[in-house]
Amino acid sequence: MKMKGKKKIIFLILAIVIIGLGVYKYSGLANPKMVYTSQIATKSNLNLSYDVSGKVQAKKIVTVFSNNEATVEKVNFREGEQVKKGDMVFVMPYIDKTNRLCATMRIGNHLTTTHHYKTGDEVTATVYQIHDEIGIFVAVDNCYHGLLPKRDVFEKYQLGQTIVGRITRVHNDGKLNIATKAKVGVQIHDDVDVLRAALVDADGFLPYNDKTEPETIKQVFKMSKRAFKRAIGVLLKAGEIDILADGIKAKKN
């Protein structure tokens, strides 16, 4: 009886194994189906980008500095113009945010308005920009914002030219207006002398009077229309000239 029981158990186990193998084989687990997709290969650029963070550290730090002090004396070019080896240019040295010594032709950006000047002070200035509508921008003592207004420009200036003038106005923001002419009480004597000399050179007659256009007066006599009128007023009062419809005429002694 015991042998028969054991045989039944063995046959039962074999049956289970056989059934299991059949299920495994025919269910596809033994040889799973491979699924394939196709794609046409194309040629293109691979754009790879990486988003990383870290700390950049200089391998070597070199400090560059000058042992010499100097004053800018001349400028021949504006920013953007082509220059070549040997040409002189007007630049302003400064230290940038990384503590490097640099130079720029944007002079106005590096001038200051903190100063001790007051109206009437005599100053020396360097021309760094010429604007046809505004006037002559200057670096007063090569440090401070200054302007020679168009109305006070009576001659042609060159970039880098040094001029001597006086402070005529200190703006609220500290910027300075300057003039190259002396104060009226002093300048009028020079203006009168200019007209006297011009009358002599023109044989006693000048085709200009108080009706002449201001720009013409400025070009011919290097003075404002107001200064011109003051000067002929002095000459008229002194009995030296007559004012005619077409100009001024010197009286004969």
Stated pTM of the model? 0.47
Which residues in the chain come in under a pLDDT of 70?
Answer: 1-12, 14-15, 17-91, 182-186, 253
Do 176 and 144 contact (CB within 8 A), yes or no? yes
Domains and CATH numbers, the chain: 72-180 (2.40.50.140), 184-250 (1.10.10.10)
Residue 65, token pair as written in the block:
């500095």
d(CA 21, CA 102): 85
Half-sphere exposure of 215 (CA within 13 A, CB side): 1
pLDDT reported for residue 205 = 92
pLDDT reported for residue 3 = 56
Q: pLDDT tens digits, residue range 196-219?
A: 888 888 888 999 988 889 888 888
pLDDT reported for residue 116 = 87
Q: Which run of H or E residues covers position 194?
A: helix 184-201
Do 12 and 19 contact (CB within 8 A), yes or no? no
pLDDT reported for residue 235 = 87
In three-state secondary structure terms, 71 is coil
pLDDT reported for residue 24 = 56
